[in-house]
Homo-oligomer: A and B are copies of this chain.
Amino acid sequence: MIETVSTARAFGGTQHVLRHHSTTTGTGMVFSAFVPDHAEGKRLPVLWYLSGLTCTHANATDKGEYRRACAEQRVIFIAPDTSPRGDGVPDVPEWDFGQGAGFYLDATEQPWAGHFRMRTYIEQELPALIAEHLPVDMTRQGIAGHSMGGHGALTVALRNPERFRSVSAFAPIVSPLRCPWGEKALTGYLGPDRNTWRAYDATALIQDGARVPELLVDQGDADGFLHEQLKPWLLEKACRAAGIPVTLRMQPGYDHSYYFISTFMADHIAWHGERLRN
């Protein structure tokens, strides 16, 4: 069951906002899907975009400026929510934990374990749903994300290398084990045993043997979270040690906002598009 929240023509395609009941999170979940025009019966590659702290599907959908490039590259763009939401879902007043801050993991600690299962949602339930309802070619998937969503893109791809041909990130959290956002969230969702965190840390996954073909990362050098939270050099170092080619582009003057993301979005989509062609 999938319900249309809104649908609109845009850039020679259709921007859908869709809602469904998730059996994984036990809540209604909203996501957006941009589908370029295509011949009847044709299936298009899909680029997943995972958003950062505080975001819903709407931030990227409104401000991501991805539609022109996706229409040119003939790529479907999926923007999920960042956590379960709603009255029955636990929350805290902070913006970096709880609703809007799901960290793309399956929580094991209470009160989060019941609903906060974004790993399974992104890895299993939502792919099955879009494969059924949208004209996607699931043999051609790429994934990207911003900040907490960059962490999501990297870790989902590293754990599922057979599923993704391409992975990129905008200002990602590269090592939740080694930053305050990560330490707070993973302690809360997974408990104090840091060994359980390694499946949700891109650098630890690489150290533990996970591989992707290559990585593209853009990072603004005026990003206020760069030195304390993001530390892309930790990813670069892990990739070098593992022999994963990584392109880390430090973008002078750019901050952590959608002004930064939208500036480089078309580059990322073209990069994915090349790798998602037949």
A→B interface (CB under 8 Å): 8-12, 15, 62-63, 65, 67-68, 220, 222, 251-255, 257-260, 262-263, 266
Contacts and interface: CB of A to CB of B under 8 A. Distances in A.
**Which 10 pairs, one residue from A and one from B, show the smallest C-beta to C-beta distance?**
A10-B259, A9-B253, A8-B259, A9-B254, A11-B263, A65-B65, A62-B63, A10-B263, A8-B255, A15-B259
The secondary-structure label for the interface of chain A is mixed
B11 A67 contact: no
Given A15-B259, A67-B259, A67-B262, 14 more contacts: A8-B254, A8-B257, A8-B259, A9-B251, A9-B255, A9-B259, A9-B260, A9-B263, A12-B263, A62-B63, A62-B258, A63-B63, A67-B263, A68-B266
Contact of A9 (B63, B68, B222): B222
A93 to B, nearest CB: 25
A264 to B, nearest CB: 9
A263 B66 CA distance: 11
- Count the copies: 2
A9 B260 CA distance: 7
Contacts of A9: 220, 222, 251-255, 259-260, 263
Contacts of A252: 9
Contacts of A260: 8-10
A15 B263 CA distance: 12
Nearest to A266: B68
17 contacts: A8-B254, A8-B259, A9-B220, A9-B252, A9-B253, A9-B254, A9-B255, A9-B263, A10-B260, A10-B263, A11-B263, A12-B263, A62-B62, A62-B63, A63-B63, A65-B262, A67-B262
